[in-house]
Amino acid sequence: MPLFADRAEAARALASRLADERLPGPLVVLALPRGGVPIGAEVARRLHVPLDLLLVRKIGAPWQPELAVAAVVDGPEPEIVVDEETAAATGADDAYIRREAERERREIERRRHVYLRGRAPVPLEGATAILVDDGIATGTTVRAALKAVRRRGARRVVLAVPVAPHDTLFALRHAVDRVVCLAEPMPFRAIGLHYAHFSQLSDDEVTAALDAAGA
């Protein structure tokens, strides 16, 4: 049986949990597009704090695009984080990862233009950054995102998601100051299986959520 009816239900539950955490401010919510944006918008609204995006793109395996072998994260110096074990197991060599990373950088540029429309990033220096997504599977994309958050000077980093596998959260614990996760189901298969409704979001839905949150 699914844990959540949809992202809206998961967002309300996660926002309520984070409100109880009484995290030290100033707070900034960072959402991973696309699925993390409605989650982040609700969290930002509940906590009355700014919402921004962290643009990260997964690099999928040659034979399974949904299986992350690496991720590329936006920034003045775009960074690639590789899951060496998964890359080796799937035959994703350095040349493949470099080629796919360049393609994903172009998509990051497109999303920055469409979603942010010239808005400057919210400063993170000295802040508690709450990184939000609609779930975590392997953690490769999140690891890339966390590196970018630290690089931007956040004083504390909180990873907040509705659902994720326990072993992935355990592996990420050293990269954050706090993990807030509503459910760690076993066995864990795909994020979408834990939602009754888990449709892909359109660019228009992402920008509408950002506009509603006053991002």
Does the global pTM surpass 0.85? yes
In tens, the pLDDT along 156-213 reads 999 999 999 999 999 999 999 999 999 999 888 889 999 999 999 999 999 988 888 7
* Contact indicator for 23, 130 with CB cutoff of 8 Å: yes
- Is residue 119 scored above 90 in pLDDT? no
126 backbone dihedrals φ, ψ, rounded to 5°: 80, 0
Question: For residue 154, which of 23, 19, 9, 18 has the smallest C-alpha distance?
Answer: 23
Average of per-residue pLDDT values in the chain: 91
Taking residues 7-32, report their average pLDDT. 95
Taking residues 68-80, report their average pLDDT. 82
* Contact indicator for 57, 140 with CB cutoff of 8 Å: no
